């Protein structure tokens, strides 16, 4: 008796919170000391790991056989080497990485993601060689982030500095 009452709830979506009009995107930008191609390759390796873990988790699920279609586990939606890498996932939503080469060296990475992917992006950022600027810094008038004084343009927002 209880099983017949719970079956409709098992097959129904998780509700209004998953509708595309209500998903909120977050973004995070950081500066790394590695060249742009190396940073791009690191992103590909990390997201391949996300895909493998999601596939393994899915195969261990007791209800995997009930699904009518195969899940999209971090499927590459768009890749423009070494500038853009965008993925789609059924659970985490859309995740994109935009890379900008900084003239003075290093790369700026901008990650845009939906809330469910926050911990994945935060853990990935923690593994990267993020550069923290020292005492001799300059502040961007457009975005307010700190940067090295010799930069001619902001590595975070791209605005030209005078």
- Residue 148 burial class via C-beta count within 10 angstroms: exposed 0-12, middle 13-18, buried 19 and up: middle
Total-model pTM: 0.69
> Given this model, what pLDDT does residue 64 score?
56
Confidence of residue 110 (pLDDT cuts 50, 70, 90): very high
Return the structure tokens found at 150: 């010799």
Q: What is the CA radius of gyration of the chain?
A: 20
pLDDT > 90? residue 9: no
The C-alpha atoms of residue 45 and residue 55 are separated, in whole angstroms, by 15
Question: Hey, what's the torsion of the CAs at 110, 120, 90, 84, to 10 degrees?
Answer: 20
DSSP characters over 104-154: TSSEEEEEEEEGGGHHHHHHHHHHS-B----SS-EE-TTT--EE-TT-SB-
Q: Where are the domains of the chain?
A: 25-53+72-131, 135-162
Give pLDDT tens digits for 141-157. 998 888 878 888 888 88
Please give the average per-residue pLDDT across 123-135, as a whole number: 82
> Given this model, what pLDDT does residue 69 score?
61
Record: fold of 25-53+72-131? Alpha-D-Glucose-1,6-Bisphosphate; Chain A, domain 4 (3.30.530)
State the chain's mean pLDDT as an integer. 82
Give pLDDT tens digits for 29-82. 898 989 999 999 999 999 999 999 988 887 766 665 565 666 788 999 999 999
> Given this model, what pLDDT does residue 75 score?
94
Q: Which residue has the higher pLDDT, 93 or 62?
A: 93
């Amino acid at each position: 008796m209880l099983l017949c009452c719970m079956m409709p709830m098992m097959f129904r979506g998780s509700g209004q919170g998953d509708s595309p009009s209500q998903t909120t995107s977050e973004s995070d930008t950081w500066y790394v000391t590695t060249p742009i191609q190396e940073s791009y390759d690191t992103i590909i390796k990390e997201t391949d790991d996300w895909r493998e873990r999601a596939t393994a988790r899915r195969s261990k699920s007791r209800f995997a056989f009930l699904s009518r279609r195969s899940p999209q586990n971090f499927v590459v939606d768009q890749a423009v080497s070494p500038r853009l890498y965008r993925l789609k996932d059924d659970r985490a939503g859309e995740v994109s990485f935009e890379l900008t080469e900084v003239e003075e060296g290093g790369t700026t990475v901008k990650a845009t993601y939906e809330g469910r992917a926050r911990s994945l992006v935060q853990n990935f950022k923690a593994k990267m060689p993020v550069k923290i600027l020292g005492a001799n810094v300059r502040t961007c008038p457009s975005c307010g982030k700190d940067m090295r004084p010799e930069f001619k343009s902001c590595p975070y927002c791209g605005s030209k500095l005078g």
